[in-house]
Each structure stands twice: as structure tokens, then as C-alpha cells.
Amino acid sequence: MLDDLDPPGLAAVVSALTFRRRGPGGGEVHVPGGVAGRRLADLEALWATLAATEEAAGLEPLAAPDPGFARAVLAWTAGGDLADVLGDDFTGGEFVRNVRLVARPVSIERRRDWGTRGALPEGGVVASSNEELLDLVTSHRRAGTPIPPVALTGGDLWRTLGGVPGSTRWQTDDAQRLPVDLGAVLLDGRLHWFCAHLVARRSWLRGRIWVAANAGHLGTWNLAPRSHPGDGLLDLLDADLPLGQRLAARRRLPAGTHVPHPGIVERRTGAEQVEFERVTPIWLDGRRVGEARRLSVRLEEDALVVVI
């Protein structure tokens, strides 16, 4: 659905998932035309199908996409004058707030693409899982050698970047070469790295859970739905929910609708220090690497080039 959209069109479609009009009612919605308009209609149809399935299963349907900001963000991202874009529909503050919501998942900048086109270059390697990618990154970081470009064919970073199972696009000139960030954490005096996420927890069902995410997905869960591996920020989630709320949030994890939640603290930062009441197991990209009471976490920007 998002394939072949230019940056303005992508911003317009994504805005339907992040924009929520304030106050009762609302005026007429002017939906963009062209490819972006057709993809917005496809998104609406997909939501209707999912909502019917959720209702049949006795679940509360997700909120419907709202295209009310699509035309404005499309025009601005394409280079339109802000005064013309705002018109009478949005205040300056409302516009900035909604642009930030769109920019989080897609890392948009005006008139600028992310990454370049091209196949995996000579000397590149292929990683099909979290484990393979983490082992590659760790070995080169410990040796002090450059990390070669990596074609991703599986794993949580691959999933976050929209990887398609069985795709060999990374071998063609249509592939995307994307500069991505890496997470780094000081654990027991030794530096470790993670490509997708750090999770500090004793159990998913009880106790505090603290997450530093460089990518949105953890397995089938969209754990940090606003996380983007190329925006220079870690998405932090900190929670210790009662069991009932925890189970309800867990059911929403695959769709990424467990946040916002009053009991889940969200922050975005390039570095953080955190302390736990007791020694807590630490998991990097799904691998348990040790235990700690204190962590120092930071981001290394554009540390790796991946090919999708």
C-alpha cells in the first residue's frame, strides 16, 4: 500500500493514522487526489475489513483512519508555502504538532528522501535474523573495523523497515540502501550494542518493564510503533502495569495500539541512564546478555547501512 509513494504522498497516507481532529464534529475533509488519494481510499477499505473482523471476534475496533491532515502535510512536504498550507483549517501550533506525529514513523524532511537506491554492494553481507545481525555488528565493533553494508532478509529491524518474506529485491537496483542507527549500552563495565531493541524485565507478566527501541517491532509485536531506526532517537517505554491492564495492553501489541496509555511512560532521547530497584535481566535484540541495576544507553547515529 505504501510502495512507490514519493515522500509527500507517504506523509499524507501516514497522517491518516496519526491525525485525530479535536472537538466535536468538523468541517468538510478535502482528500488529496492522485496516487495518495487512491492509497487513502485503500487504507479506509482495509480498516473497514479489519473492523468487521474485530467486531465479529467481540473486540473493540481500532479508530478509523482520518484523512483530515493529509492534504496539508502533502502540500507542505512538497515545498508549499506554510501560510497557504495552513489556510483556515489549522493554527500554527496544531500544524506543528501533527507534522511531528507524522515525522516520527516516517522520518520525513522537506524535499528530502531517506537513503538511496541500489543493490547490496560488493563486500556486503546478508543477515536473516536478529542473531546474525547482532553477531556481525558486535564482532566488527569489538575489532574496531567498519561494519559492511548488510542486506536484511529477516529479523525485527527488517520487519520494521517493511521487509517482504522471500524478497530478493536487495540484489537489484530497486533496493533501498538505508543508513540506520545503533543502540549502545554499558553493562557491567563492558559496551554492548543492539540493532532493534533493549528490554529490561524479569517477566512480561509482572514487574517493571523498560524498553529502549531503535526499531518498532519485537517479533509479531509492534512494541514501539513510533520508533524509527534512522531518526537519531531511541524510543523509551517504562511500565509496571497491574495484571489486568497488562493483559489488555498485550492483546493490542501486534497492532501497536497499546500506546498511548496512562501507565506507560514514553520518551524519545539520544541517551539515557536508568536504575532499577533490583538486579534485572537485560535482553538485546531478543538475546539475554546479563543482569544489571544501572544502565547507560546511547544511540550511535547512521552507524550501519542496510539494504532492503
182: CATH: 2.60.200.30
In a domain, 154, yes or no: yes
Spans in the chain with pLDDT lower than 70? 3, 22-28, 104-113
The CA-based angle 241-287-224, given to 5 degrees, is 45
- Contacting residues for 239 by C-beta, under 8 A, at least 6 apart: 208, 209, 249, 261, 263, 264, 265
Give the pLDDT of residue 26.
53
In a domain, 1, yes or no: no
Q: Is the domain of 66 the same as that of 177?
A: no
Give the pLDDT of residue 87.
72
Give the pLDDT of residue 8.
85
Rounded to the nearest angstrom, the gap between the alpha carbon of residue 235 and the centroid of all alpha carbons in its chain is 9
Give the pLDDT of residue 113.
58
Last-in-domain residue among 63, 80, 106: 106
Give the pLDDT of residue 111.
42
* Full residue range of the structural domain in which residue 99 is found: 7-106
In a domain, 2, yes or no: no
Last-in-domain residue among 60, 87, 106: 106
Q: Is the domain of 202 the same as that of 298?
A: yes
State pTM to two decimals.
0.67
In a domain, 186, yes or no: yes
Q: Is the domain of 73 the same as that of 188?
A: no
Q: Is the domain of 53 the same as that of 150?
A: no
Give the pLDDT of residue 110.
44
Give the pLDDT of residue 131.
97
Last-in-domain residue among 106, 140, 164: 106
Give the pLDDT of residue 23.
54
129 CB-side CA count, 13 A: 5
Tally of domains in the chain? 2
